Amino acid sequence: MSTASVARLPLAADACLASGERGALGAMRRRQGIYSSLLGAWRVQLSAHGAAGLVAKKPGRKAP
């Protein structure tokens, strides 16, 4: 997923919760194919680092 779409999904989830419609958040998660744990992790990263926290990082050691 792109950084822009990952940044958009927590906002969409908040809108689903604010709508008060029963099952809206679950339906949005199924459409997007994401788990609630991913949504929670993205919210933590957004609050801690902003959009820069959502940029994919290479695994492994950093180059010297």
The model's pTM is: 0.68
Two structure tokens written together for 51: 């959009």
Mean pLDDT of 23-44: 90
Angle between helices 3-19 and 36-49 (to 10 degrees): 110
Summarised one tens digit per residue, pLDDT across range 38-55 is: 888 888 888 787 766 666
* Confidence (pLDDT) at 18: 94
For residue 15, give both structure tokens. 């809108």
State residue 27's pLDDT score. Answer: 94
Task: Name the average pLDDT for the chain.
Answer: 84
Domain spans, the chain:
3-53
The DSSP line for 11-55 is HHHHHHHHH--TTHHHHHHHHHT--HHHHHHHHHHHHHHGGGGGS
**Region 51-63: what's the mean pLDDT?**
74
